[in-house]
Homo-oligomer: A and B are copies of this chain.
């Protein structure tokens, strides 16, 4: 499962038959250990391949590259998990002279795809799992998201409320914010969604909740976020944007995902939930 899509590999295979024995030895090692090429120095590669450093240098030229660095670069890019976003961004900026809107459109799509992939990455699955566990076993679940983060917070609450009544959405309406937190303790959980620049009120609420022993699930943009400081579980969301404000697509996806895991853990039947909800709603003629 290595980096097979490096174009250098094709160059290597094609040129292989015409190479001298020592160069072939070096080439074979590179084909067998592409990851090492991206990570180690030329001398290390040469050592592991049982070849002199100069041979690797010569191989680079023999393949048509100017230097070992040129041969190495594609392998390093392939190692990156967060794709070549920067290069693509630069390209998009350059094209902005021609068709501003369409270039931006394409860039936004690419960025949003990376936001999703980055936010729902396998590395974070365990955190999702544990967070869902915590939320499942807690008495009440409070949800807090202000400003832009209110959108995913709202959806979390709205969806959670469809299969359970222990979720409460915190908001600032009518200045009743603090009242909503009264009586919370370590049997409760708080889902806080906050991104830089962090809202003071959110941080205050998190600190208060933390002092009350509440289990906190932070959905934020950074492990060092003040929202994550007192959190038991921190889900890091990617919120890059091609426009002027942070994207909240990743946060929304995370919320939906968390809810889905929560439903599974609670042992509820998903289909049944929808049925019930729709039946109740149609009774009050909410549907078309």
Contact = CB atoms under 8 A, between A and B. Distances in A.
Interface of A: 1-5, 9, 13, 16, 27-28, 31-32, 35, 38-39, 76, 79-83, 86, 89, 92-93, 98, 100-102, 104-106, 108-109, 112-113, 116-129, 132, 147-148, 150-152, 154-155, 158-159, 162-163, 197-203, 222-224, 226, 236, 238, 241-245, 247-249, 252-253, 256-257, 259-261, 263-265, 270-271, 273-274, 278, 281-282, 285-288
Nearest to A154: B151
Given A117-B109, A288-B197, A224 B257 contact: no
19 contacts: A3-B81, A4-B124, A13-B223, A28-B222, A35-B81, A101-B129, A104-B261, A105-B120, A112-B116, A112-B253, A113-B116, A116-B116, A116-B249, A151-B151, A151-B154, A151-B158, A201-B286, A202-B288, A249-B249
- Residue with the highest number of chain B CB atoms closer than 10 Å, among A83, A151, A265: A151
Contacts of A80: 35, 39, 79
Given A32-B222, A102-B125, A105-B120, 10 more contacts: A1-B118, A28-B224, A35-B79, A79-B80, A104-B260, A148-B158, A226-B288, A244-B260, A245-B256, A248-B252
